[in-house]
Amino acid sequence: RSLRIGLIPGDGIGREVIPAGRKILEALPPSLGLNFSFVDLDAGFECFKRTGAALPQKTIDTLKQECDGALFGAVSSPTTKVAGYSSPIVAMRKSLSLYANVRPCKTVLSPAFPSPTKSPIDLVIVRENTEDLYVKEEKTYADPSDPTGKHQIAEAIKRISSKASWRIADIAGQIALRRARMRQAGGKGEARQGMVTITHKSNVLSQSDGLFRATAREALSQPRFNSLKIEEQIVDSMVYKLFLQPEYYDVIVAPNLYGDLLSDGSAALVGSLGLVPSANVGEGIIIGEPCHGSAPDIEGKGIANPIATIRSVGVMLEFMDLPEAAEVIYKAVDANLAEGRLVTPDLGGTATTEQVTDDVIKRL
Ligand code: NAI
Ligand code: MG
């Protein structure tokens, strides 16, 4: 099978870790029968300063017309507002209908790194990517109850649709089924049943979160999800339990804002941002993306941890229906970490990006 992959390094360490992702794809065992070709694409703040566009139309067109998958590094956002600049990630998700952000969080099982949690965790957050408060419809106006005219009121729209809620719950169900299958295939003792936890706050927001909850329930009651356990939990108690008993969870599905918060929180439960991958998933192309940013503090030193990106290659392949290839990558990463000898400074080691990448390649 021939696959074309777009490479969008972006800014900062994005340019150091995306080449690592490419090397991994090129080094996959021939027995998998996969053939990759690559196309370099531009986006980000540097690109904006150079060309006036943070996300050139050519990047979008090439992704749409030529690519089966893509890897996105990171982009820098200026701390003060720059006229004409807005995040290319949000724009990219919109123009390519990438409606789900999928973020697996898994504890490193290695004597070399103490886990931040008591028991190992292995969960996936499935975050709705297109609506909720992130529709960015805000306004500010004078507070009518204030005669002095000094006080203001700001409002933001939280929009939830049954269409988006259905498709995000449906994809969460599919992920839970696949994970249960992979656990069974891994065959260590009795494999745990697949589970999806629906996150909401419908006790307060009975209409918006109420619609999300009811629609997700309905989507997950389709016969093909019969083997899954479906649960729901109110988001604040979810945070509590996620911190105290994270090993409990399998797949968590959430509206945009709660998903954003829960996924950064669960990244903390596995140790370093440099380890956590994600994928943007929708109707067509799949885009793998490490969860970290452009890390200006370590940029140019060649010490960025490539593992978040390498794992993102795995997640991308999983969603391109290539679970065997993904598994090969996950196992090689786990073996590198289990030995714990060649790791980057964020994990207490002294290895460079390139040395870690080459060590993972040796283990593919
Ligand atoms: P960051 O994720 O870039 O860095 C946070 C800390 O983690 C830093 O100390 C950094 O050195 C470390 N770190 C991150 N990735 C690492 C890796 N692979 N290996 C080793 N250490 C790593 O977040 P920060 O500092 O808040 O943001 C920096 C820039 O990145 C900002 O301009 C921000 O807007 C942007 N950003 C972009 C994101 C994206 O493109 N998806 C996500 C988060 C931030
Ligand atoms: Mg976030």
Q: What is the pLDDT of residues 193-208, one digit of tens each?
A: 999 999 999 999 999 9
Q: 348 CA distance to ligand 1 centroid (A)?
A: 18
- For 217, how many CA atoms within 13 A lie in the half-sphere containing its CB? 11
Q: What is the pLDDT of residues 234-248, one digit of tens each?
A: 999 999 999 999 999
- Whose tokens are 């004409």? That residue is 84
Strand partners, 233: 199
- How far, in Å, CA of 305 to CA of 293, rounded? 12
Domains, the chain, ordered by start: 1-116+273-364 (3.40.718.10), 160-269 (3.40.50)
pLDDT at 104: 94
Residue 146 has which token pair?
Answer: 């204030």
CB 5 within 8 A of CB 71: yes
pLDDT at 188: 63
Mean pLDDT of the chain: 94
- How far, in Å, CA of 247 to CA of 90, rounded? 31
Mutate to test the pocket of ligand 1, among 103, 287, 292 (most ligand atoms within 8 A of CB): 292
Q: 187 CA distance to ligand 2 centroid (A)?
A: 34
Q: What is the pLDDT of residues 100-118, one digit of tens each?
A: 999 999 988 787 777 788 8
pLDDT at 89: 87
Q: Taking CB atoms and a 6 Å cutoff, what residues make up the pocket around ligand 1?
A: 13, 74-77, 89, 273-274, 292-298, 304-305, 308, 344, 346
pLDDT at 273: 84
pLDDT at 9: 98
pLDDT at 182: 83
- How far, in Å, CA of 329 to CA of 360, rounded? 8
Nearest ligand to the CA atom of 90: 1
Q: What is the pLDDT of residues 20-34, one digit of tens each?
A: 999 999 999 999 999
CA-wise closest residue to 72 among 50, 47, 49, 51: 47
Mutate to test the pocket of ligand 1, among 72, 79, 98, 273 (most ligand atoms within 8 A of CB): 273
Whose Cα sits closest to atom 25 in ligand 1?
A: 295
Q: 261 CA distance to ligand 2 centroid (A)?
A: 7
pLDDT at 283: 86
Residue 242 has which token pair?
Answer: 């996620």
CB 20 within 8 A of CB 306: yes
Whose Cα sits closest to atom 30 in ligand 1?
A: 293
**Is the full-model pTM beyond 0.95?**
no
